[in-house]
Structure 1
Amino acid sequence: MSIRRDEDGLTMMELIVAMVVSGLFLGFLAVLFANGVQAQAQATERDLATGRAGVVSNSILTSVRDASGFVIVSGNRALIAEVVDSTGASSCRAWLVLAPGDAEYRRNVGDAPYRTGDLIYKESASTILLSDRTGWSPLIERGSAAGDGVVGSMRVRSGTNADGTPRFVNVDADGDGRADAFGRSGSTLTVGLDVTLGDATVAVTNGVTMQAQSSGTDTTTCW
């Protein structure tokens, strides 16, 4: 009868088993690490998208609340408001969600044009014309992924799904095949936007009623 001594070392089978177990353990750790990185990236994207949505909401709602008038144009993707300050003087502000086929807008002549999915902004002491494609600033610039950017997403309830949940359909008042970004009822503005960054999409769904009146001597015309 032979007696195995510790110094004899591992048998080939024991070595193979040890390598397999080690490989499985390392693979498990790699999966955990990859999932952690992905979850962190998704959380970062959602935080950034939420921050961008907050910037848009604050910019538009604050301005229109202090406006004496506004119009919605360009396929319900552009908003122009006449905003009144504390002295009663007016200025003009505009927001435009860029879609495929739009003309090239930019800040200065010679700058690279903004892209589909950008939300751009302009402020002026006089009339803002969408045909003037310079002088615009990026309020939100789309990311690098194909689905990134801002799109109109106004929806209304239209019945009930088979499972009993509410059914919503896009609002496309101008019939261009795209959901509207802005809508109006009297002096109240409705905003419907989706802000997407990577796998995260944050909706901006708000409404605001204009509350200001321009001074009788103000001759500003914003559109």
Structure 2
Amino acid sequence: MRHDGGFIVSQANGHLSIDPINVNSGNGKLQAGTLLASTATTYAGTATAGSGNTGNGTFAGIAVEAPALAGNYTVNMISPTEFEVLDPNGEPVPMTGGTTDVSTGEVVTGPGTVGEVFNGGGVGFLISAGSTAFVVGDTWTLAVTETGGGWAPVTSSTSSPIKYAILYGFVDTTNNSQPASGFVRDGEVNLSELIFDPSLSAAQQNSAVAALAGQGVIAR
């Protein structure tokens, strides 16, 4: 029967070898010794023009990265050449590179401008004028989605892992993400006690073990 940390042969003093992690929901019941990986979050954005828009300009060059929020951003024209951006919580999105009000410490950015790239809060795009000018009230919805990210068992489809860990103790992620402990550095573990997802080939298992070694976790 498996028990917490049963795969460990040696570790650093105190808790130096172990980090708190959060294992993603939907991975079922995971046993101590399961090989996990943390992956980068991938963002995507799609813009939809309001059905009542007057202007026929374009919304292009969408780029999304952290710390963007998943959900619907709203872009509102506040003049024929200027617009505001609201995040999914309805909060104004400050533009990167704005000035700072010395009395309040707040970033003062002013509106976005048609024909100039907007960048702020992880969201970037370019609104360009068309043959019919924009009017106040023209709007777009920028739908931002995010995939990946967080900790999950390593499978053959795991993409661009940032870091590896060995699950210290049992967790049940069937319905919710769960806090857990991951063995991530400075120690030696029993290779035969590690649990690899069945989808991993022998070569992929070896690559994961090599990646662990790069973090100072030696599996023998």
Query: TM bucket by the smaller chain?
Result: under 0.3
By percentage of residues, which structure has more strand? 2
TM-score (norm 1): 0.21
TM-score (norm 2): 0.21
Higher relative contact order (CA 8 A, sep 6+): 2
By percentage of residues, which structure has more helix? 1
